[in-house]
Structure 1
Amino acid sequence: MNNKFFPSNFLFIMLMFLGSMFSLSSSHWLTMWMGLELNLMGFLPLMNIKGKTLEAEASMKYFIIQSLSSSLLIIFSVMSYNISMSWYSMFSDNMFSNMILLSLILKLGGAPLHFWLPSITKQMPWMILFLMLTWQKLAPLMMISLTNSNLFLMLTISVISALTGSILMLNQTNTQLIMTYSSISHLGWMLSMITINNTLSLMYFINYTLISIPLISLMSTSLGNHLFILTQKNKINNLITISLILSLAGLPPLLGFMSKLIILISLIEMKMMMLSMLLFLGTLVSLYTYLNMSLMLMIKSYMTYENKKNKNIFMPLISMNILSSFIMYPLVIMIIKYAMTIL
C-alpha cells in the first residue's frame, strides 16, 4: 500500500469491513442494502491506492456497476414490499424476487452478468484483486441464501457460471484474468447449493478463501502478470505454488477436492444428476488451464531451483491445504453428520 496515506487506507479498510458486517448481522433488507453501500464507499478508494489511470478507470466502472445493481435491488424490493407489505417476508417466488436475485448476481459478477468483472481486474493490484474475489462476495451471497426465489433460475445461473468461467479461462495468458474466471467458475459451485444448504456453500467459500490467500500472495511476488513469466527465474516456491493451483482445480487429495466432493455428494443424494454432470464438466474444462499453469512452473523449476529457507507466514494454510483429505475431510464429515446431536 501507499505508506504516505496509510491512515486513510486503514480507515477505508475498516469501512469496507464494517459495511459487510453490517449487512451480515442485519435482519432487515433495507439495512442490508445500506451495509452494501458502506462497503462500496470503503472499497472504491482502495482501488486507487497507486493513483494510476487504469485504476481510476476500473474504479469508475466498478462504481457504475455496483450502483446499478444496488438501484435495481432497492427498486424491486420496494415493489415487492407493495405486494407483501412486509420487509421481512418479502421474498416470495414471484417476478420481483427473481429480479432481486439477478441484481445480486450482477453485484457478484456471476455469469451471464459477468461482463464487467474481467475488464476491471485485468490491471488490478493482487491484494485488491483478492478482496474483490473473496470478501466482496460474502454479503451478496448471504443475501441470496435468504431469498426464496425460483430454484430452477438459481441452478441455471450456477451451471452457466461454472461453464462460462471454465471456458473463458482456456485462452487467457494473464494470470489475473485466470484467477478472475476461476472465481466465476467457483461461484457457480457455491450458487448450486446456496438455496438448498447454505452451510455447504459457506464451507466451500471458506475453503476457496484459504486456498486463495497463499496462492495470490505467492503469485504477487512474481515479476509480471503473464503465464510465460512463470517459466522465468522468480522468487516463488514452485512446488508449493503447483500444489495450491492443483488444489484450486479440485484434484485429490487437496483441500479444493474436499469442498467439491461434499457438494457433489449432496447433489447426487438429491438426484440432481444432470446438474452434477455439468458442474463436473466445467471442472474438467478448467483443469486444462490449471495444468498448463503447473507445467509453466515446472518447465524451468529444475534449472532455476534455489534452496532458500525463507520463512512463509502462510505455511499453516499450505500444510492444511496439502493434508486436508487426511485431517480436515474426516473432521468436517463428522461435524456435518453429528452436528445436530452435538448441538
Structure 2
Amino acid sequence: MNNKFFPSNFLFITIMIMGTLFSLSSSHWLTMWMGLELNLMGFLPLMNIKGKMLEAEASMKYFIIQSMSSSVLIISSVIMYSYSLSWYSMFTNNTISTLIMLSLILKLGGAPLHFWLPSITKQMSWSILFLMLTWQKLAPLFMLALVNSNLFIMLMISMLSTIMGSLMALNQTNIQLIMTYSSISHLGWMLSMISINSSLSLIYFTNYIIISIPLMAMLSSYIGNHLFILSKKNKMNTMIIISLVLSLGGLPPLLGFMSKLIILITLINMKLMLLSLLLFIGTLISLYFYLNMSLMLMIKSYNTFYTQEYTTLYNPILTLNILSSFIIYPLMIMFIK
C-alpha cells in the first residue's frame, strides 16, 4: 500500500461512501449500524495509505475505539428492541437512549470522550485528516438527530466540546492537532442544535466543510506540520489562508460567523442564555489561536516575500467567504422562518 494511487484505494473510498449513504438512507437502527461498520471497513485501509508504522498504530487505535462504540450501539439497540419490539426510534427507556447517545458521541470524538482523536490525527496525511474530520462525522450526526430524548445531556456535551476543544488547542504547535481540536470545538456547536433543529446543524456542517476543503488543501502544501512553518517562504497567497482561518474562528462578516449567528439567534429565542454564553466564550478562546495562526502567516521578514500573482482558482471561495453574511444570511433567515 506504499503507492498513493494503488488501484484498490478507489474500491475502499467507494465502500466508505456507500457505508455512510447506507446509514443516512435508513431509519432502522440495525441497518444504520451495518452502514457504520461498512464505512469503517472502507476507511481503515485508507488510513494506511503510505504504509508507515505510525499510520498502522493510528488505524489500530481507531479500529478499537470504533468497535467499542459500535458494540455499545448494537447492544443498546437490541435492548431497546426487547423493550419496545421496534428497531425504529422509539425510546421508551431513558438509560438506553443515553447509552446510544454516548456511543455515537464516542464515534464523533466529542468531549468528554474525545481523548482518542488527537493521538490518531497527528499521524495522518492531510487528505485522510480531512475525511476524518468531515465525512466520518456525517452518519453519527444523522443518527444523533434521531435520538430526541435526553436534551440536557446533549447540551452539556455540546458545551464541554466547545470549551474543551478551544482550551486544548491553545498550547499546541502542531497544525494538524490545532485543526483537530478546532473540529471538536465546532462539533459542540453542531450538537447544541442537533436535537432542537437538525437542519441548522446541517447548515453549520456544510459551511464547515466549505471552509475546510480549501484551507486544508493549502495547509498541506507547507513542508511540515509545525506552526513556525507558516512564517517560512511559500508561493501560496497568504491572504486567502488568513481569510479562511478567521472564517473558521467565526469572525464577522465571514462565512463561519454567519453559521454561528444563526445558531446563537435560535438558542437565544429558546431562552437558553447560559448555553449561548458558554458557546460564545468557547469561540472567543479559539479565536486566540486562529489569530495566532493568522499572525504567523502575516508577519514575515521582508526577504521571504514573493511578488505573488493572484490565483483565480480561489476567487469564488474568497468571495463566498467575505460576502456570505450579506448574501447567504438573509436567505437563510427567510428559509428558517
Structure 1 segments unaligned to the other structure (5+ residues): 338-343
Structure 2 segments unaligned to the other structure (5+ residues): none
Q: Pairwise mapping of residues 1-343 of structure 1 onto structure 2 (< 5 A)?
A: 5-92=5-92, 94-300=94-300, 303-309=303-309, 311=311, 313-337=313-337
Q: Quick one: distance in 2 between partners of 1:311 and 1:8? A: 34
Deviation at 1:27, TM superposition (A): 1.6
Question: CA 1:223–1:96 in 2, change beyond 3 Å: closer, same or farther?
Answer: same
Deviation at 1:107, TM superposition (A): 0.3
Which moves more between the two structures, 317-326 or 299-308?
299-308
Specify the SS of the correspondent of 1:335: helix
Which moves more between the two structures, 292-301 or 87-96?
87-96
Deviation at 1:327, TM superposition (A): 1.6
Contact 2:162 2:282 in 1 (8 A): yes
Residue 77 of structure 1 aligns to which amino acid in structure 2?
A: S
Deviation at 1:310, TM superposition (A): 6.4
Q: Quick one: distance in 1 between partners of 2:2 and 2:240? A: 29
Deviation at 1:323, TM superposition (A): 1.6
Contact 1:111 1:164 in 2 (8 A): yes
Deviation at 1:330, TM superposition (A): 1.7
Specify the SS of the correspondent of 1:127: helix
Q: Quick one: distance in 2 between partners of 1:209 and 1:58? A: 23
- Deviations 1:217-257, CA, capped at 9 Å, x for gaps: 00000111000010111232211100000000000000000
Instruction: Give the TM-score normalised by structure 2.
Output: 0.97
Deviation at 1:309, TM superposition (A): 3.2
Aligned length: 337
Residue 324 of structure 1 aligns to which amino acid in structure 2?
A: S
Contact 1:93 1:148 in 2 (8 A): no
Q: Quick one: distance in 1 between partners of 2:4 and 2:169? A: 37
* Identity across the alignment (%): 74
Residue 285 of structure 2 aligns to which amino acid in structure 1?
A: V
Q: CA RMSD in A?
A: 1.5
Question: CA 1:62–1:104 in 2, change beyond 3 Å: closer, same or farther?
Answer: same
Instruction: Give the TM-score normalised by structure 1.
Output: 0.95
Which moves more between the two structures, 229-238 or 122-131?
229-238
Deviation at 1:66, TM superposition (A): 0.4
Which moves more between the two structures, 321-330 or 170-179?
321-330
Aligned to 1:340: none
